Amino acid sequence: MFCFYIAEEYRRKVFFNYEKRLRLRSPPEKVFEYFASFQTPEGELLMRPADLMRAIVPVFPPSESHLVRDGYLSGERSPGELRCDPSELFMLFDMDTDGLISFKEYIFFVTLLSIPESSFSIAFKMFDVDNNEEIDKEEFKKVMALMRANNRQGAVHRDGLRTGLKVTGSVEDGGLVEYFFGKDGKARLQHDKFIEFMRKLQDEILRLEFDHYDYKVRGSMSAKDFALSMVASADMSHLDRLLERVDELNNEPHLREIRINLDEFKHFAELRRKLQPFSLALFSYGKINGLLTKDDFKRAAYHVCGISLTDNIVEIIFHVFDTNRDGHLSSDEFVRVLLKRERDIAQPVESGIFGLLSCCWHCSNNSSIGRVIT
- State pLDDT tens for residues 208-217: 999 999 999 9
Cβ(100)–Cβ(46) below 8 Å: yes
- This prediction has a pTM of 0.85
Average pLDDT over residues 241-247: 92
Beta bridge partners, 135, equal 189
In whole angstroms, give the CA distance from residue 306 to residue 14. 39
CB-count burial class (<10 Å; 0-12, 13-18, 19+) for 183 = exposed
Beta-strand pair 45-46/38-39: antiparallel
Q: How far is the CA of 311 from the CAs of 196, 220, 258, 264, 316, in angstroms?
A: 30, 16, 10, 10, 9
CB-count burial class (<10 Å; 0-12, 13-18, 19+) for 21 = exposed
Tell me, what's the pLDDT at 98?
76
Tell me, what's the pLDDT at 99?
79
| Per-chain mean pLDDT for the chain | 81
In whole angstroms, give the CA distance from residue 140 to residue 172. 9
Tell me, what's the pLDDT at 152?
59
Beta-strand pair 38-39/189-190: unpaired
In whole angstroms, give the CA distance from residue 247 to residue 234. 16
- Range 300-310 burial, b when 16+ CB lie within 10 A, else e: bbeebbebebb
Average pLDDT over residues 311-320: 96
Average pLDDT over residues 29-33: 93
Beta bridge partners, 259, equal 222
Q: How confident is the model at residue 373 (pLDDT cuts 50, 70, 90)?
A: very low
